[in-house]
Structures are given as C-alpha cells and as structure tokens.
Amino acid sequence: MGIINITPDSFYVVSRVTEVEQVRLKAEKMLIEGAIFLDLGAYSSRPGAADISEQEETDRLLPAVEAIVANHPEAIISIDTFRAAVAEAAVKAGAHIINDISGGELDENMFTTVARLQVPYILMHMKGNPQTMQQLAHYEDVFAEVFDYFVQKIYQLKQMGVHDIILDPGFGFAKKPGHSYALMNRMDEFDRLQLPVLAGISRKKMIYGLLGTTADQALNGTTALNTIALMKGANILRVHDVKEAIEAVKIYEALKRVEAL
C-alpha cells in the first residue's frame, strides 16, 4: 500500500504532494513499482498536526481521487480519513476502501456510512486524536488493550453488516516506541481474530528515534522492520517507498516457499 499525502503537513516532507499532476505521477510510479493499493490522505495525522475543516479535506482529496481513477482505473484506492462525509464523497468519486485512524471514535456516523456503502474498512487503534494522542500513551498491557479494542469494534461492525475488515494496530498512534515494539513482537497473535493485518511503520519515530536519525534517513530501518512485520503475520505493508517494500515481500515469499517444500 503506497502512501500519497495530499497535505503540506505530513511528518515525512518528501511524501507531500499538493498538485493533482504530482499525485498522478506519484500514483503511476507506485503502481509501476508494484503497489496494489494507494492510500490517499488529505488530513495530516502526525502528532500535534493542525486541524483542518471537513471542506478543506474534501477539496484536497477529491481531485486526486478523480485523477487516479481517470488515469489508472486498475488502482485500488484507500482513503485515509476519520470523517464519514469525506469517506462517502471519496467512495462516490471512485475510491474503494476507508482507512480510519480513529476506529469510528471521531465521527459517530463512520460505521453506519461504511455499512451503507459496503466497502472494506481498515480499523485502526488510537486514543484521542492527532492533537492529543501522545499525551494518552499509557498502558498496563498494550497488546491486551489493543486486542480487546479490536474484539469490541469488530463485533460492532459485524452487527451493522460490515464484514470486510482489515486490522491496523496503530503503530506510533498514542504509543511510545516501546509500546509499538511490544505490539510488533506479538503481532502474529492478532491472527486469532481471523482478519488481515496492516502494518504502518514506514519511516516512523519508532525507527528513526531508535537509530538516532531522521525520517529522511529511515528507509533502511523501515525495510528491516517491514521484513519483521511480514514474519510476524502482516498481510499489508503501508509504505512511502514501494520498490523497497516489494523487494522485502519477494524475499520473504521466497523464504516461505522454501519452508513449504
């Protein structure tokens, strides 16, 4: 899953695109490199990011969706938003998946909207919102809390008729690096929920903070941790750098083929 940030406020500067033609070219490059999904976001969810209006988010997002649909109809488009109205507008414009960082907590209409639209839903764990989440990174047992959260949310969604659900543990969202590594270490245990798991760790502070570098310098660490994520059961890697992630997937799949002989 290739990340396309249509915002001037993403934590990784190189990932930012603000013009429709830039979006089209970035999408084309990612698809050529092997991306299956393109994840478009117009609201920065980095810690402490500025809030923007629903209208501004929609105005940034829809031209990008329309451009990708027109030029790359084969692309599977995911929309990174916690707002139900933005999600619905994007799906009507041609998007296929809703990627909600808040698990329906920031918009009470999100679950009913997803159920009505009957699109796949990425359910992520977070506390608070992007402006407050880092003050809420407190857990007795982070894995148990995230697992219980998933159990409750999956039940709610299925009761409403949403069955195509992807789980995202929310690495770095209301989690200190130690919490994120604890989740990674036990990520294979989410398999008990019998749903696909997405790992979104690309160039995050859990990598560059540990290595004493920056997001710009975190590609090697990201590739290493993506490989571990695959070994821990990740089904989807959400990344800024598609080519390198695809290489990690190919090496991991070759290893699995040998193990199966």
pLDDT tens digit string along 171-230?
A: 999 999 999 999 999 999 999 999 999 999 999 999 999 999 999 999 999 999 999 999
Contact 184, 225 (CB under 8 A): yes
**Domain-embedded: residue 206:** yes
Q: Considering only CA atoms, which of 7, 73, 66, 3 is closest in space to residue 40? A: 3
User: In this predicted model, which residue has the larger pLDDT, 245 or 261?
Assistant: 245
Confidence category of residue 132, pLDDT binned at 50, 70, 90 = confident
- Residue 10 pLDDT: 54
What pTM does this model have?
Answer: 0.93
**Domain-embedded: residue 17:** no
- The residues carrying an active-site annotation are 204, 238
**Domain-embedded: residue 217:** yes
Taking the C-alpha atoms of residue 3 and residue 27, their distance in angstroms, rounded to an integer, is 9
Taking the C-alpha atoms of residue 210 and residue 207, their distance in angstroms, rounded to an integer, is 5
Give how many domains the chain has, as a whole number.
1
pLDDT, the chain, mean? 93
Cβ contacts of 247-252, under 8 Å, gap ≥ 24: 247/223, 248/223, 251/227, 252/227
pLDDT, mean of residues 153-178: 97
**Domain-embedded: residue 246:** yes
Cα torsion angle, 119, 124, 126, 130, sign: negative
Residue range of the domain that includes 169: 78-260
**Domain-embedded: residue 248:** yes
Q: Where are the alpha helices (DSSP H) in 97-139?
A: 110-117
CATH number for position 240 = 3.20.20.20
**Domain-embedded: residue 47:** no
**Domain-embedded: residue 164:** yes
**Domain-embedded: residue 89:** yes
